[in-house]
Amino acid sequence: MQSFDVIIIGGGPGGTTAARILAQGGKKVALIEDKHWGGTCLNCGCIPTKMLLGAVAPGSLLRAQERLRVVKGNVKVDFTALQGRVSRFTKGTSQTLAKALAGSGVTLFEGLGTCLERKEGQPRVQVVCAENRTDMTAPDVILACGTASAAFPGLAPDHQCVLDSTDLLQSAAIPESLIIVGAGAIGLEMADFFSAMGSKVTVVEAASHVAPTEDPDIAKEMLRALTKNGITCHEGTRAKDLRTVDGKAQLSLEDGTVITAAKALVAVGRSPNTEGLGVENLGGTKTPRGYAQVDENLQCASGLYAVGDINGLTLLAHAAEHQAAYVARRILGQADGPYESGPVPSCVYGGTEIMRVGHTATALLQQGKSVEVSQAPLSMNPIAQASGGTAGFVKVVWHEGRMKGIAAVGAGVSHLVTVAQMLLKEGYSGHRLHEIMFAHPTLDEIVPMAINAPRKAVTAG
């Protein structure tokens, strides 16, 4: 039985962040990973998707200049070369990450980690790798096992023509046509990339609009951009059955319509990697959707924490890192209050982007709160004008004179997310906003313009 101060299961952004901080703080740390160091984010999530989008981004900028009649010609993306680059980069970074962790004193285990019942009150974990089993114990265990693509009856990837996001990211060729079920961030980013690469893309979303967690006006602008790029969108439409038939993906909608395509992506959410993990063996419980249940200290039970996707609070890499840093500092005795996320930034990337920090107007109205909004169009911004990407706007959501959320839609708006977060978190509005000098010309200037714009009351419906 090996002894550690902390055992961490899962080597994604959550697990590796906690391991690094704890090792720096002098703790003896074991980190267990069964597939790939860097987790979903590095290997089949944030990073590969952004590398793909990065390759088609210049084309999108050039097309905007072409519409202004100042650019002519074509730029072609070599998909095989691009996939090679993504694969080399993610594998190389994964190895570098593991080396850096080992170099900082973290003991790495490659294998599947399972929680075992406590012995003399002390948590135990087993790692299984092929024929080898290693048992270990520590006073604190952190679960950072993340999530996998969710599947529902009738909507389950068969990995032939019906794919999950990991399958699609590993495609050897661009499908001539592609159905995407689910228009959240993953669905929209895949739609943007594969459409830019020449696929005929059809998006099906059960909610009343694409980008279902955003305000309808933001979603409407996104829909306009998708449609302009030749992407067919079915909003408020339920997918009933998706399967491979005669070498094609065949989707039946609830209204009886049947759509076929070379491939289909199921992007209807994520489900937690808690199956067989043994959370209960250490006194933890699961939510009805299978996530590890945590309290306000991200604790599942005495000496058991869960950070990142696995606790279901926020399924984003930076949230996993933020939570992990809090738990690591808590174990080191440097944080005693409850976990505070602050406003959580989120983005959808691509030719047309969405960013948001804080609440939507819709969410506040649903809580029965009075809401005002102020807005500024990207067409007022010199950098947006220079790049020809003037469609879209920044929207500020107010409740009782206080900023509650900042969102934007348009080309390049993901770059506004940190400035928006700082301004929102510190409450920079009114005379306080003048304390900050914004560089001119920058895309950032559109955010204070939206904050200072006249406010209009909005009502539900």
Which chain residues interact with ligand FAD by CB under 6 A? 9-15, 32-36, 39-41, 45-46, 49, 112-113, 144-147, 165, 186, 273, 277, 308-310, 315-318, 320
Q: Closest approach of Cβ 317 to ligand FAD, in Å? A: 4
In this structure, are residues 152 and 230 in contact, taking their beta carbons and an 8 Å threshold? no
- Which residue, among 263, 268, 270, has the nearest Cα to 39 in the 3D structure? 270
In this structure, are residues 149 and 266 in contact, taking their beta carbons and an 8 Å threshold? yes
Is the Cβ of residue 408 or residue 449 nearer to ligand FAD in the bound state? 408
Q: Closest approach of Cβ 358 to ligand FAD, in Å? A: 16
Q: Kind and range of the H or E element at 374? A: strand 371-377
Q: Which residues are annotated as a binding site for FAD?
A: 50, 113, 309
Is the Cβ of residue 410 or residue 448 nearer to ligand FAD in the bound state? 410
Q: Which residues are annotated as a binding site?
A: 50, 113, 182-189, 205, 269, 309
Question: Cα–Cα–Cα angle for 45, 185, 41, nearest 5°?
Answer: 15
**HSE toward the beta carbon, residue 15, CA cutoff 13 A:** 35
Task: For residue 68, give the 3-state DSSP assignment.
Answer: coil
The one catalytic residue in 159, 209, 415, 440 is: 440
Q: Closest approach of Cβ 50 to ligand FAD, in Å? A: 6
Separation between Cα atoms, residue 242 and residue 101, nearest integer Å: 42
Structure tokens at 229: 């790029």
Q: List Cα–Cα distances, 19 to 14, 58, 77, 112, 172, in angstroms.
A: 9, 37, 38, 17, 35
Q: Closest approach of Cβ 438 to ligand FAD, in Å? A: 26
CB atoms within 10 A of CB 76: 7
**HSE toward the beta carbon, residue 421, CA cutoff 13 A:** 16
CB atoms within 10 A of CB 131: 5
Q: Closest approach of Cβ 34 to ligand FAD, in Å? A: 4
Does 440 participate in catalysis according to the annotation? Answer: yes
Is the Cβ of residue 165 or residue 250 nearer to ligand FAD in the bound state? 165
Separation between Cα atoms, residue 278 and residue 294, nearest integer Å: 15
Is the Cβ of residue 39 or residue 410 nearer to ligand FAD in the bound state? 39
Is the Cβ of residue 218 or residue 320 nearer to ligand FAD in the bound state? 320
Positions marked catalytic: 440
